[in-house]
Amino acid sequence: MLRYLPLILKNCWRNRRRTILTVVSIAVSMCLLGVMISMYHAFYLSSPAPEEALRLVVRNRISLTVEIPEFYGPRIQQVAGVRGVMISQWFGGTYKDARDPKNFFARLAVEPDKLFAMFPEYVMPEEQRKAFARERTACVVGRDLANNLNFHVGDRINLMGDIFPGNYEFTVRGIFDSPRSSDVLFFSRDYLEQTLPEGRRGQVGNFYVMMDDPTHGGRIGGAIDAEFHNSTAQTRTESEQAFNVGFLALLGNVKALLIGISGAVMFTILLVSANTMAMSVRERVREVGVLKTLGFTPALVLSFILGEALLISVAGGALGYLISMGLTTGIGKSPYGGMLPHIPPFQISVALACIGTAGVIGLVSSLVPALGASRTPIVDALRSTD
């Protein structure tokens, strides 16, 4: 079979314009499919980054927006397998003009002395960490945020609170690097707590929990929720990954959107490639007759045509996957990237899924014209004028 490869290649290349157009149109659709598959994979199938896999998030069972008492912290710490607990409070608020989407970024009140132990992937110089922990009104910002809004160490940032009314002023004491999108500002929860009226103190948004072993997530989460089962505020503990996906679900039905678009794209490629193969086979009916006269069996003729379709579609799939790699990296870096789970730029299973799908589509789409051509009697084929 392999010795006929040059013939198949020659056939691919005889109508260059068509081959290029087909490869490009398959590639463009495939790149979309590649993005969809990698997103789907990242959301629902991927194993989280190692440091992320160690973290759980505890929130109120009613909803993310309902607070839980601060005294839960020490009790969570007592649960076997918990290495660390950190308070995290969504601050909300507005920075300058809220109508400019650039001014929207996450602001979280945390415990400065625990932040970098809880998120070991955040890298910041030691003296900046110390300054952050020492000063009550200090804040640290992610590199992406610092670049977007041109923040420097020593700058003052004013936020106007909504969930927590009032004006808050922070001094940037550090800028940290993160492998993921870091459009975020952290400040000290102690500062926030001191500004609140008596009645609102002692409540937290959620707790981040660091585990001793990523495989203990189910057991530890269950133990934490059981601990507070009979309390006024029941908890729900989930992995950080599930917590982030839950956030994104607020944007709409992501799963249905991803599957719907992928389906439409796949069907489009099927049509495009079937169309091309049908055209190129129709042109060549007489040639097939000649091949058969020379002694090539119908099976061989069939495999030539199938092989050609496979080559073209796989080329399109591979090219499309390459483009999609660039696109997913771009999406990860975009403002919405912070909400998405980490999407690795290259993933062998996604690559195989993309190229495999393209190949299968190529084969399926050429099957009908190829069968027709291989079955045409020699005499009819030679007589064909088209």
Report in angstroms how near the CB of residue 153 gets to another protein at its nearest.
27
Q: Judged by CB, which is closer to another protein: 303, or 357? A: 357
Using the structure block, give the residue that is written with the tokens 């160690």.
54
Gyration radius of the chain over CA positions: 29
Helix runs in the chain, H state only: 5-14, 16-40, 50-53, 72-78, 112-118, 126-134, 143-149, 189-195, 217-227, 240-249, 254-283, 285-293, 298-333, 348-375, 378-383
Tell me the closest approach of the beta carbon of residue 20 to another protein, in angstroms: 9
Q: Which of 98, 123, 290, 378 binds another protein (CB under 8 A)?
A: 98
Binding mask 213-232 for another protein (x = CB under 8 A): -------------------x
Nearer to another protein, 49 or 327 (CB): 327
Number of residues that bind another protein (CB under 8 A): 54
Tell me which of 230, 252, 299, 348 binds another protein, using CB under 8 A.
Answer: 252
Position among 41, 61, 130, 342 found at the interface with another protein (CB under 8 A): 61
Residues between 4 and 23 with contacts to another protein, criterion CB under 8 A: 17-18, 21-22
Q: Phi first, then psi: what are they for 56, rounded to 5°?
A: -120, 160
Q: Which of residues 329-348 bind another protein (CB under 8 A)?
A: 336
Residue 134 or 201 having the CB closest to another protein:
201
Task: List, in sequence order, the alpha helices (H) in 41-175.
Answer: 50-53, 72-78, 112-118, 126-134, 143-149
Distance CA 31, CA 46 (A): 20
To the nearest whole angstrom, how small is the minimum distance from the Cβ of residue 84 to another protein?
26
| 152: contact with another protein by CB under 8 A | no
Based on the shown chain and the rule CB under 8 A, indicate whether residue 271 belongs to the binding site for another protein. Answer: yes
Alpha-carbon separation of residue 271 from 34, 268, 362, 369 (angstroms): 18, 5, 10, 13
Report the C-alpha gap between 106 and 104 in whole angstroms: 7
At 104, is the secondary structure helix, strand, or coil? Answer: coil
Among 7, 28, 223, 371, binds another protein (CB under 8 A): 28
Q: How far is the CB of 45 from another protein (least distance, A)?
A: 16
Strands 55-60 and 235-239: antiparallel
Our finding on whether 66 is near another protein (CB under 8 A) is yes
Please, what's the b/e burial string for 287-296 (b: 16 or more CB within 10 A of its CB; e: otherwise)?
bbbebbeeeb
Stretch binding another protein (CB under 8 A), from 49-57, 183-191, 255-263, 305-313: 255-263
Place of tokens 């601050």: 91
The residues of the shown chain that bind another protein, judged by CB under 8 A, are: 17-18, 21-22, 24-26, 28-29, 31-32, 61-66, 92-94, 98, 160-163, 165, 232, 242, 246, 249-253, 255-257, 260-261, 264-265, 267-269, 271-272, 274-276, 278-279, 283, 336, 386
